Amino acid sequence: MKEPLKSKLAGMLEVVYPYLDSGFLAEKLLKAMGLAPNQEPPPAHQNNWDESDIVLITYADTIRRADEKPLVTLHEFLNDCLADTVSAVHILPFFPYSSDDGFSVMDYLAVNESHGTWEDIERIAGDFKLMADLVINHMSARSRWFENFRKRLDPGKDYFFEASLTDDLGAVVRPRTSPLLNPVMTEDGERYVWCTFSEDQVDLNFANPDVLMEFVSIIRKYLERGVVMFRLDAVAFLWKEPGTPSIHLQQTHELIKILRLLIEHHTPRAVVITETNVPNRENLTYFGNANEAHAIYNFSLPPLLIHTLVTGNCRHLKTWLMSMPPAQLGTTYLNFIASHDGVGLRPTDGLLTEDEKQGLINAMESFGGKVSYRRTEDGRDQPYEINIALYDALKGTVKGGADHWQRQRFICAHTVMLALEGIPAFYIHSLLATENDYERAEHTGRLRSINRGQWKLESIESELANPLSHHSKVFTELKRLISIRRRQPAFHPNATQFTLHLGLQLFGFWRQSMRRDQSIFCIHNISDEVQKIALSDINLIGTDQWVDLISGLRVDDLSGSITLKPYQSVWLSNRE
């Protein structure tokens, strides 16, 4: 017999708030979400995605046109250029903000007037699955809630996490080098507020259930506006306790379960995605028992794939892939190799040696990249992420420096991502092959801005119309590869995957459709030298007809071999 929703929710709340009446709190949360206590659950282990799903990641104002709101311009670009390419659009925080390009939110229920309106958001949601950020760990120091915190007024008085300089904070895991505690003058005197990321981003206090109540109301509003995919930003840091690392605490995991439970009962097709830029083993815990995140960002993929392509050696990428557990039905990976942030280095802990990390950093710096740091428990500053546009990150190799294989290497990276288990997500600057934006980084004073440039729509149209432009060549080829991928059942995000052993210069894996009616052998030359592979090494079934989906080349002689040019990929399938 299925457990009633209220009872299940109350059991989760008891873990987080053992000192409160969990039944009463459950009732309040259900009312805030517009749910009945005995609401029917969605089907168990339901995949709200398939092989046709491709996510685009973009800021609301990445593409601009004079005298037009950027959300209007973005919608036009999406419909004109990507309607047959992407199924979902992640619009990075489009709310009023005070810093960090949107991640210091001032008002969760308003659209930044300079971007557009809620009606513009709803129109995009009408044509694409819409992903929005739930910036749940912290809020702007210039928000109304924080002003009320200073004045000791509601709502906001107890909404932010306070600590003392005498608290035991030595074990707290930090993603930045800025001070953890910052003094704030309030009506009750000076207080110290917890700031995981910056002085302008003050951490919220989820030990106060009123904060949870506020966010449940916010989530409901987003759902009503058409949001069906929720990115829980920096959620690993949600619950804080002095004397602990204050990351991945049990209450954090329980709060994710609570939010998922409420979201999927309201909208069964909705998806919760956790953004946890941490070592791989820690990241995997956010699946829970298929009851936390529907999808997790595959944070180890970007640095490992870049390392593979600039060294011409896939040993670490292959070892990592073999260690990755298949996602249970109803869960999946979100694969990406570029985003609005830098290339995280913590996800390589335990996967690359310190010397290999430093070699990668040196190569990226030689290609124009910068390095951001975090502070460790013992007070040392350690490299945290590499800030670089992906197109420039792949402009050469560790040993040879910049070369003429940049575009081919870049395409190879995305061909790998498209074929892997999970949902592929493309940063808009990757689709457009944007290079390092030094001017913007200098203007903002933030290293991450190097990969957060803005385009005039007229400039994009001009570049894409020019067949000699590298922007046009990349955009055209990536669209072609995406189109191929979206038609293959073996590329379903939950289709079977096995790693192939083809040496260090050939990275390969096998995918099989869930109905077992299609197999695809995905083989990628990740080196700058020609590679030959005997077809007998990949065990193609002789009774099937095999074709490379990328080139259209048919494979008739299974006793022969195929030759791959530098950074060439093949998708050998037994059906077209």
Can 127 be counted among the known catalytic residues?
Answer: no
Please give the pLDDT value at position 377.
78
Q: Which residues contact 481 (CB under 8 A, 6 or more apart)?
A: 411, 414, 415, 418, 550
Q: Which amino acid is at 231?
A: R
Please give the pLDDT value at position 195.
98
Return the SS3 of 126: helix
Please give the pLDDT value at position 543.
82
The residue ranges of DSSP E strands in 293-452, in sequence order, are 295-297, 332-335, 343-344, 370-375, 381-387, 396-397, 401-402, 423-427
Please give the pLDDT value at position 558.
87
Q: Which amino acid is at 225?
A: R
- Residue ranges for the binding site for substrate? 100, 138, 231-233, 340-341, 448
Is the separation of the CB atoms in 519 and 574 below 8 Å? yes
- Domains of the chain plus CATH, in order, are 138-203 (3.90.400.10), 496-573 (2.60.40.1180)
Cα–Cα distance between 335 and 55 in angstroms, integer?
Answer: 10
Kindly state the tokens that stand for 446. Answer: 């933030």
Cα–Cα distance between 545 and 85 in angstroms, integer?
Answer: 28
Which whole-number Å values give the CA distances from 213 to 20, 110, 210, 275, 461, in the listed order?
A: 14, 18, 5, 22, 45
Kindly state the tokens that stand for 405. Answer: 């294989």
Q: Which residues contact 432 (CB under 8 A, 6 or more apart)?
A: 455, 460, 463, 471, 474, 475
Return the SS3 of 160: strand
- Residue ranges for the binding site? 100, 138, 231-233, 340-341, 448
Is the separation of the CB atoms in 300 and 350 below 8 Å? no
CA angle 448, 425, 511 (to 5 degrees): 135
Integer-rounded Cα radius of gyration of the chain:
24
pLDDT tens, residue order, the chain (576 aa): 578 999 999 999 999 999 999 999 999 999 999 999 999 999 999 999 999 999 999 999 999 999 999 999 999 999 999 999 999 999 999 999 999 999 999 999 999 999 999 999 999 999 999 999 999 999 999 999 999 999 999 999 999 999 999 999 999 999 999 999 999 999 999 999 999 999 999 999 999 999 999 999 999 999 999 999 999 999 999 999 999 999 999 999 999 999 999 999 999 999 999 999 999 999 999 999 999 999 999 999 999 999 999 999 999 999 999 999 999 999 999 999 999 999 999 999 999 999 999 999 999 999 999 999 998 877 889 999 999 999 999 999 999 999 999 999 999 999 999 999 999 999 999 999 999 999 999 999 999 999 999 999 999 999 999 999 999 999 999 999 999 999 999 999 999 999 999 999 999 999 999 999 999 999 999 999 999 999 988 988 878 899 999 999 999 888 889 999 999 999 999 988
The DSSP secondary-structure symbol of 290 reads T
Q: How many residues does the chain have?
A: 576
What's the pLDDT tens digit per position in 290-330? 999 999 999 999 999 999 999 999 999 999 999 999 999 99
Please give the pLDDT value at position 8.
96
CA contacts within 13 A on the Cβ side of 412:
29
Residue that has been written with the tokens 């096995």 in this structure: 498
Q: Which residues contact 420 (CB under 8 A, 6 or more apart)?
A: 301, 321, 333, 335, 497, 509
State the catalytic residue, choosing from 133, 233, 437, 528: 233
Is the separation of the CB atoms in 429 and 338 below 8 Å? yes
